Chains A and B, each alone.
Chain A
Amino acid sequence: MERKRRGLTLKQRTNLTGYAMISPMAIGYILFMITPVVVMIYLSMTSYTLLKPPKFIGLDNYVKLFTNDPTFLDTAWNTVYFTLLFVPLNMLICLGLALLMYKNFKGVGFFRTILFTPYVTSMVAWAIVWKYLFQTDNGLINVVMGWFGLDPVNWLYNEKAAIPISVVVTLLKGLGMNTVIFISALMDVPQIYYEAASLDGAGSWSRFKNITLPMISQSIFLALILTIIGCFKVFAQIYVMSKGGPATSSYVFVYYIYVTAFRYFKFGYASAISTVLFLIILVLTAIQWAVRKKWVFYET
């Protein structure tokens, strides 16, 4: 007679060990990431203010957002405008700097440090410094313009300049990170490919286009996703430099969420804006993920 085995099978025991190993991370992720997202989606369907308890109102907040809130539409456009200006500039400049600095030459460490230092500086401190540089009176930029006989410009009170100035300030601070990612990728490209291509008579542009770009495409893809998501989350520099103004010309998503939640105390409505932002980032990431196979070269 076959003895019935009691207890867990080996597979079950292995699975259990696995679950136990990932449980600290999984519990933390559920508590601090998934739960707030679920609560946010629930709150987005309420009229919750700090002053009064939540009352379920269905999709009213979303209807108002898309049909009766011009500030939201301004905010959406400003965020897209910021992203359209920032991402190509950031990718091109970082790639260019990485190509200049990935090879070892005398003093390269100094230049890499100089480039990376702003990245580890607090955005608030960085934005305060730039706010002073852009001041109308005695701001360094206007002082320099004055040396060339140019009239001072009221940079921070100009609707057309608000977003471009934020882009410049953010760009100068953030160049270091993507440049380091690209330098690391460039250093990993085997020299043998370049030598073989040179023997076949390939020029420098051809080597860059056919070897360098495909070989670092994974890093470009990573940097692109991170940079686009970063653009949608821009906040501190707007808060410090322009407070969303003049008028709503530099309102971006996170600033509008902050104002709605912590100035107007409309947590329900702010949750609706947050949910829209969450969905936009989710869709963008999904699109990029879906198309990555077409243009990302995987060596393996």
Chain B
Amino acid sequence: MKKLISLLLILMMALSLCSFGTIASAEGAPAKDYGGATIRVSMWGDNTRKDLFEGLFEAFEKEYNCNVEVEVYAASEYATKVLTETAGGNGPDVVWLTERYYPMFADAGFLADMNALMTDEEYKFDDYSVSLANNYIKDGNLTAIPFTANPIALFYNATLFKNAGLETPLELYKKGEWTVSKMIECASALTDKATGTYGLSLVQTVDPTNWPTLLNFIWAEGAEMFNDDTTKCLINDEAGIAALQKYYDLMFTDKTCVVPGEMISFESGQLAMYPGNFSEGANYQNVDFEWDCITVPANDAGELTNIVGVALYGVLNTSKNTEAAVDVVKYITGEKMQQELSGIFVPTRESLKNSDEFLNKTEKMPTPDARKILYLDVFAANTRVYPATTNWNEVNEAGKQIFDKLYTGNAAPADIAAEFESTFNALLG
């Protein structure tokens, strides 16, 4: 008898679940019906990110009668995984790309066009930063959507500045005096061998091998590593050698700048300034000193240029559901979702980037001032996207190896510049 009652209860529950399902699907007819197709979206990150995006895609799945699968990989292995899957005929439908991997995918013809988005009034493509979006329109075809762009933020230990009686970079910036020379002057004053405190690092402490971060310094010194289309190395001239010599002197003569590999962390309180990503601020919420971040300084003529890293959405043309994949991109890069995600990714939609809601978002550090400087002033001044080529990994590794020779003190800056020129030109040619 008990078994019979249990069975009846289970049956009733099953029926009621079915009826709820019917009500739910009857509430809103799908905008488009993709017949339950599965759209795979690949991104770098961890399971928290996967959960976040799966949650965001739930509404889309209902609206379009499809299933969106989010796949996350470690950032360091991301391009390899996606390329291997794609080459093996099992690629995702939608991919995240960085500006550095974009040429590789575009040149191989892996990216489908998303031209429908350019003319979609509801999508408001014009809201995207024109100078940024134009980089991804090839032969009139829109091949990727830049959903976030981050300039380099210079983190500084405000306590060290105050203890030394120095004006903070923010104060100097407001007075229009935040220049490379001033930064070096501060670094020199803040370096203290007795306490092992360094005034400055010119590379990211989390990844000192990421040498393109140094391009800001090289540009501010009036030199260029590459020409505009990254087909030729230009560092081996007077300005380039002088820039490398200045960097060398800061590390080995003045000893105000950390030699990459020393592993001095900002959290230790022994590093006054270093360049990093704005999001690194999340790591410093509980440190026992005051800090903030600001843009990298202008050159001595007051001209500010900052390098920008971009993340993009693309649709692979190996997708069997290209139309649905483009709709996924439209949904997630649309105004509503971009606003939803603006706490995590700095939006590239002008309307969102300029909104008070975004600019005043942080209650903790960095300060709203830092946001305004980094995302309004810097973009209003001059931004340059990281250099990229179809063989960027090889160029990057070669650059790392040559900079290592500078860091180990085994080669003179002039020799380093000559090696950059010969090695890079052989790879870029």
Does chain A bind chain B?
Answer: yes
**Contact residues in B for A157 (Cβ distance below 8 Å):** 259-262, 404, 407-408
Q: State whether A246 and B407 are in contact (beta carbons under 8 Å apart), knowing that A137-B268, A263-B80 are contacts in the complex.
A: yes
In the bound complex, CA of A265 to CA of B80 (Å)? 8
Asked if A246 and B261 sit within 8 Å, CB to CB, the answer is: yes
Contact with A along B261-302 (1 / 0, CB 8 A): 111110010000000000000000000000000000000000
Instruction: Identify the A interface with B (CB < 8 A).
Output: 50-52, 135-137, 154, 156-159, 243, 245-248, 259, 262-265
Which residues from chain B contact A154 at a C-beta distance below 8 Å? 259, 261-262
Q: Which residues of B contact A263 (CB under 8 A)?
A: 80, 393-394, 397
Known: A158-B408, A247-B405, A248-B401. Is A264-B108 also a contact (CB below 8 A)? no
Interchain CB contact (< 8 A) of B108 among A51, A246, A248, A259 = A51
CB pair B261 A156 closer than 8 Å: yes
What are 16 A-B residue pairs whose CB atoms fall within 8 Å in the complex?
A: A50-B83, A50-B86, A51-B110, A136-B262, A136-B263, A137-B196, A137-B264, A154-B261, A157-B261, A157-B262, A246-B404, A246-B407, A247-B405, A248-B401, A264-B393, A264-B394
Q: Does B209 interact with chain A (Cβ within 8 Å)?
A: yes
Within 8 A of A (CB), among B68-108: 80, 83-84, 86-87, 104, 107-108
B215 to chain A, nearest CB (A): 20
Decide if B410 is an interface residue (CB 8 Å cutoff): yes
Interface residues in B367-420 by Cβ distance below 8 A to A read: 390-391, 393-394, 397, 400-402, 404-405, 407-408, 410
| Inter-subunit contact B104/A159 (CB<8 Å) | no
CA distance A154 to B262 in the complex (A): 6
User: Quick one: given A50-B87, A154-B259, A248-B401, are A264 and B408 in contact (CB under 8 Å)?
Assistant: no
Query: Hey, which chain B residues are within 8 Å of A137, CB to CB?
Result: 196, 262-265, 268
Report chain B residues within 8 Å CB of A50: 83-84, 86-87
Check A52/B108 contact, CB under 8 A, given A247-B401, A262-B80, A263-B397: yes
Docked-complex contact A264 and B407, CB < 8 angstroms: no
Docked complex Cα distance between A248 and B261 (Å): 15
- Alpha-carbon distance between A157 and B401 when the two chains are bound, in angstroms: 12
Residues of A within 8 A of B401 (CB): 245, 247-248
Q: Whole-angstrom distance between the alpha carbons of A263 and B196 in the complex?
A: 37
Least Cβ distance of A161 to chain B in Å?
10
Instruction: Beyond the given A136-B261, A157-B262, please list 14 additional residue pairs across the A-B interface where CB-CB is below 8 A.
Output: A51-B107, A135-B263, A136-B262, A137-B268, A157-B261, A159-B410, A246-B261, A247-B402, A247-B405, A248-B401, A262-B80, A264-B391, A265-B80, A265-B393
Contacts of B104 in A (CB 8 A): 51, 265
Nearest to B87 among chain A residues (CB) is A50
B404 and A245: CB pair below 8 A?
A: yes
Among residues 107 to 124 in chain B, which have CB atoms less than 8 Å away from a CB atom of chain A? 107-108, 110
Give B208's nearest chain A residue, CB to CB. Answer: A157
Q: Tell me if A259 and B397 are in contact (CB < 8 A).
A: yes
**Closest beta carbon of chain B to A49's beta carbon, Å:** 9
Note all chain B residues with C-beta closer than 8 A to A135: 263
Query: Hey, which chain A residues are within 8 Å of B268, CB to CB?
Result: 137
Q: In the complex, what residue of chain A is closest to B83 when comparing beta carbons? A: A50
Give the residue name and chain of the B residue nearest to A160 (CB). Answer: B408
Indicate if the CB atoms of B87 and A51 lie closer than 8 Å. Answer: yes
Residue of A nearest to B107 (CB): A51
Contacts of B259 in A (CB 8 A): 154, 157
CA distance A259 to B400 in the complex (A): 13
The listed residue (B110, B262, B393, B408) touching A159 by CB distance below 8 A is B408
- How long is the Cα–Cα vector from A137 to B391 in the complex, in angstroms? 35
Evaluate contact between B400 and A245: CB separation under 8 angstroms. yes
Which A residues are CB-close (under 8 A) to B410? 159
**Which residues of B are found within 8 Å of A156, using beta-carbon distances?**
261
Question: How far is A154 from B404 in the complex, measured between Cα atoms in Å?
Answer: 13
> Which residues of chain B come closer than 8 Å to A262, judged between CB atoms?
80
Please tell me if the beta carbons of A265 and B404 are within 8 angstroms of each other in the complex. no
* Contact status B408-A246, CB under 8 Å: yes
> When chains A and B are docked, how far (Å) is the Cα of A156 from the Cα of B400?
15
Determine the chain A residues whose CB is within 8 A of the CB of B402 once the complex forms.
247
Q: How far is the CA of A152 from the CA of B108 in the complex (A)?
A: 48
Query: Bound complex: CA of A158 vs CA of B408, how far in Å?
Result: 7
Give min CB distance, A157 to chain B, whole Å: 3
CB distance from A140 to the nearest CB of B (A): 14
User: Most A CB atoms within 10 A — which of B83, B110, B404?
Assistant: B404
